[in-house]
C-alpha cells in the first residue's frame, strides 16, 4: 500500500485541522464562568454507575459461565464437554488453514513489513483471494462462511506468522466487517459486503478519540440530525485517532453522539462512513509507532460531514451496544493470534535451549531455563483451550459471553508478553538484535494489553464490577427495602439467605469423566465455593461496612444515597477489583484446561507434554487464585496509595 494520500474525494493529508471539532455542548472546555460548578465525586459516581448499567447491562439479565462463578456456582453444562467443531465445519477450517499457511509462507515477509512499515498491496490482494478478508461472511456474498472457531484457527496461523498482518485482518474483518454482518440492513450488506470480503475495499472501526479510548462512553464526535434535498441525514463533527486502517479504509464504522429526541442526554450511534463524503479528512494516514509497524494507524477529522440517515448502523442511540458486541468477537481473535505467537515461541525456545551450549552443557540442562520453557508450554496450552471455548460460545448462540471474551483478551495478552520476554531471555544477546525476530515480536506484543480495551479497564469495569453486579444488585435491593420498610424485604432476604446456605452446605460439582483428573476437579470446586464467599464479602465490606453507612437507619432517598456512596467506593477500589478479576481469570482458564484435558484423555490423543503442561497450568492457576484471595485480607494497598499520592503531589508542584 502506498503511503501517498489516497484520492476518491479524501482531503489532502496536509490539510490543517479544524479548530476542535465535535465537542459535546457542556463538555469541560465549553463551560464558562457562568456555567454550573464541576460535578461532585458523588455525582460522578452516580453517573459512572448509570453509564456502566447502560453500557453493559441493557436487556434482561443473562447468566453465563463466569457470572455463575461469582455466585459460587459451577455451570458444568457450559464448560463440559470440551467443544468440538462439527465434521463439515472442521473440514472447511482445515482447508482454509492449509491455504492461508501456504500463502503466508510464500508471500508474507514479516521482517520486510516491519522494516518498510507497510503491508504491500499484493499481500492484501492475496489475502482477499484466499478468503481471509471474508472468512466468516456468508458464501452468498463471496465469503467462506467459517464459524468463529474455524476463523480463530485461521487467525492463530496468521498471528504466529506476522503480527502486523493479523492486526490488519482483525481491524478489517473481526471488528470492521463484523459490525456490518451483525447489524447491517440488507441494503447495506448488499452494497458493501461483496467488495469488502474480496479485499477490493477495506474496512475500519473508528471509536477512539482524544477524549475517548477505553472510556468508550466519552465519545465527543457529534451527529446532528438534519434534512437535505436527498432526504434525512446527520451532520458529523469530530475527530478520531489511533484507527487501524483508518486512512486507507473504504468503509468505516464511526461512533458519534446523537441527541435524545426526548431531551435527555445524547446517545452514541454507529454510522457507516465512506471517505468520499465531503468533510471527511485524513489528518495522518500512518502514525509511526513501536510495533505492528506494517499497519496503517490513522487520525481522521469530520467537518460538517453529511451522512445519509440510511447509513445508520443498528438502532439510533445503540452504538455502544454495536461496539461492545463487535469487540467481543475481536477479543476471541486476539486470543487466537496470541496463541499462534506462543506456539512459535515455544518451538524457538526449545530449539535454542537444545542446541546452545554454555558451561559445557546445553541451556536446556539448567533448571531456570527449564522453568521458562515449562511456563511457556503450560500457558500456551491454556491459551489455546480458553480461545477454543470462548469461540465455541459464540458459535453455540449463547446469549452471554462478554466476561469470557474479556477474560480471554486479558489473559492471552498478559501471558503472551511474559512468553515473548522469556523467549528472548533464553536467546540472550542473540535475541536482542534485529537479525532475529524476537525483538520485533516483543515490540509487536506490547500493543496487545492496550488495544481493544486496556487490560486495567477490562479487569476493573468489565470483569470484576460486571461480574459482581447481579449479586450487588440483590444486596442493594435488600438494603433499600429494609431502610424503606418495604414488604419486599423479607423475600429478598430469604433469597440471599438461601444462597448463603448453599455456599455453606454444598461444594460445586465439576464433572470430569477421567478418574486421574478427580483431584484437580475437587481443587477447582473448592476454589469456586471460596470465590463465592469472597465476592459476597467484598460487596458488603469493600466500600466500608454497611452498618457504618450514614443514613443506614433512615428511609427512602437517604438510604438510596447512602447505598450509592457505598457502591461508588467499591468502584474506586481498583486494587481490590484487580484481585477479584485475577482470581476469576484463574478459575475460568483452569476450567477450560480441565475440560480440554478430560476430552483429550477420552479421545486418546493427549500427548505426554500436553498432559503435564495442562496439569502444571492447573497447579499454577490454583496458586495464583489463592494469592489473589489472600490479598483481599492482607495487602499494602493504603501504603501504595500513599506513596503514589506523594509522588503525584511532588512532581505536579
Least confident of 10-19, 422-431, 514-523, 583-592: 10-19
568 and 504 belong to one structural domain: yes
Above pLDDT 90, what percent of the chain? Answer: 71
On whether both 162 and 98 belong to a single domain, the answer is yes
Query: For 170-205, how does the pLDDT look when each residue is reduced to its tens digit (9 = 90+)?
Result: 999 988 899 999 999 999 999 999 999 999 999 999
**pLDDT surpasses 50 at 100:** yes
Lowest mean pLDDT among 303-317, 541-555, 566-580: 541-555
- Non-local CB neighbours of 221 within 8 Å, separated by 6+ positions: 22, 209, 236, 237, 238, 239, 240, 254, 255, 256, 257, 302
Q: What is the mean pLDDT of residues 372-388?
A: 98
User: Are 373 and 487 found together in one domain?
Assistant: no
Tell whether the model's pLDDT for residue 487 goes beyond 90. no
Q: How confident is the model at residue 495 (pLDDT cuts 50, 70, 90)?
A: low
463 and 593 in a single domain? The answer is yes
Catalytic residue of the set 384, 452, 476, 600: 452
- Give the tens place of pLDDT for each residue, 224-279: 999 999 999 999 999 999 999 999 999 999 999 999 988 888 999 999 999 999 99
Q: Would the pLDDT of 136 be above 50? A: yes
Residue 94 to residue 83: CA distance in whole angstroms: 16
Q: How many domains does the chain have?
A: 4
* Better-scored residue on pLDDT, 27 or 446: 446
Examine the pLDDT at 546 and tell me if it is beyond 50: no
* Residue 286's CATH number: 2.40.110.10
Helix (H) or strand (E) holding 647: helix 637-652
Distances (CA, A) of 390 to 91, 148, 159, 193, 441: 20, 9, 18, 26, 25
CA-closest candidate to residue 97, choices 292, 328, 340: 340
Query: Would residue 79 count as lying in a domain?
Result: no
Which range of residues forms the domain containing residue 485?
457-635
Same domain, 631 and 488: yes
Is the pLDDT confidence value at 567 over 80? no
What cell numbers appear for 56 in the block? 453493559
443 with 462, same domain?
Answer: no
User: What is the mean predicted confidence (pLDDT) over 347-375?
Assistant: 97
Check pLDDT > 80 for residue 528.
Answer: yes
Q: Are residues 425 and 498 both part of a single domain?
A: no
CATH number assigned to the domain comprising residue 392: 1.20.140.10
Mean pLDDT along residues 83-88: 94
- Calculate the CA 644 to chain-centre distance: 28
| Exposure on the CB side of residue 610, measured as CA atoms within 13 A | 18
Answer yes or no: is 82 within a domain: no
Mean pLDDT within 326-335: 92
What per-residue confidence (pLDDT) applies to 479?
Answer: 59
**Of 295, 315, 335, the domain-final residue:** 315
Residue 153 covered by a domain: yes
User: 448 and 434: one domain?
Assistant: yes
Q: Is residue 278 domain-shared with residue 386, that is, in the same domain?
A: no
| Residue 160 sits in the same domain as residue 196 | yes
Would you state the pLDDT for residue 478? Answer: 55
- Alpha-carbon distance of 468 to 573, in angstroms, equals 13
pTM: 0.86
77 part of a folded domain: no
Instruction: Assess whether 85 carries a catalytic annotation.
Output: no
pLDDT beyond 80 at 42: no
- Percent residues over pLDDT 70 in the chain: 81
The band of 543, judged by pLDDT with boundaries at 50, 70 and 90, is low
Q: In the beta sheet, which residues pair with residue 306?
A: 235
* Closest by Cα among 318, 223, 263 to 22: 223
Amino acid at each position: 500500500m502506498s503511503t501517498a494520500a489516497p484520492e476518491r474525494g479524501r482531503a489532502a493529508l496536509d490539510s490543517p485541522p479544524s479548530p476542535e471539532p465535535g465537542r459535546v455542548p457542556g463538555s469541560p472546555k465549553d463551560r464558562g464562568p457562568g456555567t454550573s460548578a464541576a460535578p461532585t465525586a458523588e455525582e460522578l459516581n452516580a453517573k459512572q454507575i448509570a453509564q456502566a448499567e447502560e453500557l453493559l447491562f441493557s436487556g434482561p439479565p443473562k447468566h453465563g459461565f463466569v457470572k455463575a462463578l461469582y455466585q459460587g456456582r459451577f455451570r458444568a453444562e457450559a464448560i463440559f464437554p470440551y467443544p468440538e467443531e462439527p465434521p463439515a465445519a472442521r473440514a472447511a477450517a482445515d482447508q482454509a488453514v492449509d491455504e492461508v499457511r501456504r500463502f503466508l509462507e510464500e508471500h508474507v515477509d514479516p521482517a520486510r513489513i516491519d522494516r518498510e512499515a507497510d503491508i504491500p498491496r499484493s499481500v492484501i490482494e492475496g489475502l482477499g483471494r484466499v478468503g481471509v478478508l471474508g472468512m466468516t461472511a456468508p458464501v452468498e456474498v463471496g465469503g467462506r462462511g467459517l464459524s468463529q472457531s474455524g476463523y480463530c484457527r485461521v487467525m492463530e496461523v496468521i498471528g504466529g506468522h506476522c503480527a502486523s498482518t493479523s492486526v490488519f485482518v482483525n481491524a478489517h474483518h473481526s471488528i470492521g466487517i463484523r459490525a456490518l454482518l451483525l447489524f447491517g440492513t440488507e441494503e447495506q450488506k448488499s452494497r458493501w459486503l461483496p467488495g469488502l470480503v474480496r479485499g477490493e475495499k477495506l474496512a475500519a472501526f473508528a471509536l477512539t478519540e482524544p477524549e475517548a479510548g477505553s472510556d468508550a462512553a466519552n465519545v465527543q464526535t457529534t451527529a446532528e440530525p438534519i434534512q437535505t434535498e436527498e432526504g434525512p441525514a446527520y451532520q458529523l463533527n469530530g475527530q478520531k485517532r489511533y484507527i487501524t486502517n483508518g486512512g486507507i479504509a473504504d468503509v468505516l464504522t464511526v461512533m458519534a453522539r446523537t441527541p435524545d429526541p426526548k431531551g435527555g442526554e445524547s446517545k452514541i450511534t454507529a454510522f457507516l462512513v465512506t471517505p468520499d463524503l465531503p468533510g471527511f479528512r485524513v489528518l495522518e494516514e500512518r502514525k509511526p509507532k513501536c510495533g505492528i509497524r506494517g499497519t496503517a494507524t490513522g487520525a481522521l477529522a469530520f467537518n460538517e460531514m453529511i451522512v445519509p440517515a440510511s447509513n445508520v448502523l443498528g438502532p439510533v442511540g445503540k452504538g455502544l451496544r454495536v461496539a461492545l458486541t463487535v469487540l467481543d468477537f475481536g477479543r476471541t481473535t486476539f486470543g487466537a493470534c496470541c496463541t499462534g505467537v506462543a506456539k512459535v515461541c515455544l518451538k524457538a525456545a526449545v530449539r535454542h535451549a537444545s542446541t546452545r551450549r554454555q558451561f559445557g552443557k546445553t541451556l536446556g540442562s539448567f533448571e531456570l531455563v527449564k522453568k521458562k520453557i515449562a511456563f511457556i508450554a503450560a500457558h500456551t496450552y491454556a491459551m489455546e483451550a480458553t480461545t477454543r471455548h470462548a469461540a465455541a460460545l459464540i458459535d453455540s448462540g449463547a446469549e452471554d459471553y462478554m466476561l469470557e471474551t474479556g477474560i480471554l483478551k486479558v489473559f492471552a495478552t498478559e501471558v503472551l508478553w511474559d512468553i515473548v520476554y522469556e523467549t528472548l531471555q533464553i536467546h540472550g544477546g542473540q535475541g536482542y538484535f534485529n537479525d532475529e525476530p524476537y525483538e520485533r515480536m516483543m515490540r509487536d506484543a506490547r500493543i496487545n494489553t492496550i488495544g481493544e480495551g486496556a487490560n486495567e479497564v477490562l479487569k476493573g469495569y468489565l470483569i470484576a464490577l460486571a461480574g459482581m453486579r447481579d449479586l450487588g444488585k440483590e444486596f442493594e435491593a435488600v438494603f433499600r427495602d429494609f431502610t424503606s420498610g418495604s414488604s419486599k424485604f423479607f423475600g429478598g432476604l430469604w433469597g440471599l439467605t438461601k444462597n448463603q446456605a448453599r455456599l455453606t452446605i454444598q461444594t460445586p460439582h465439576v464433572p470430569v469423566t477421567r478418574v486421574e483428573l478427580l483431584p484437580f476437579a475437587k481443587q477447582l470446586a473448592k476454589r469456586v465455593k471460596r470465590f463465592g464467599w469472597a465476592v459476597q464479602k467484598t460487596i458488603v465490606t469493600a466500600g466500608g461496612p454497611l452498618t457504618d453507612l450514614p443514613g443506614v437507619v433512615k428511609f427512602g432517598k437517604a438510604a438510596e444515597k447512602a447505598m450509592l456512596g457505598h457502591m461508588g467506593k467499591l468502584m474506586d477500589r481498583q486494587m481490590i477489583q484487580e484481585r477479584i478479576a485475577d482470581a476469576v481469570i484463574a478459575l475460568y482458564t483452569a476450567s477450560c484446561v480441565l475440560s480440554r484435558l478430560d476430552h483429550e484423555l477420552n479421545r486418546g490423543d493427549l500427548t505426554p507434554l500436553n498432559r503435564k503442561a495442562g496439569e502444571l497450568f492447573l497447579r499454577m492457576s490454583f496458586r495464583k487464585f489463592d494469592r489473589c484471595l489472600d490479598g483481599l485480607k492482607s495487602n499494602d494497598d493504603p501504603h501504595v496509595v500513599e506513596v503514589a499520592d506523594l509522588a503525584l503531589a511532588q512532581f505536579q508542584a
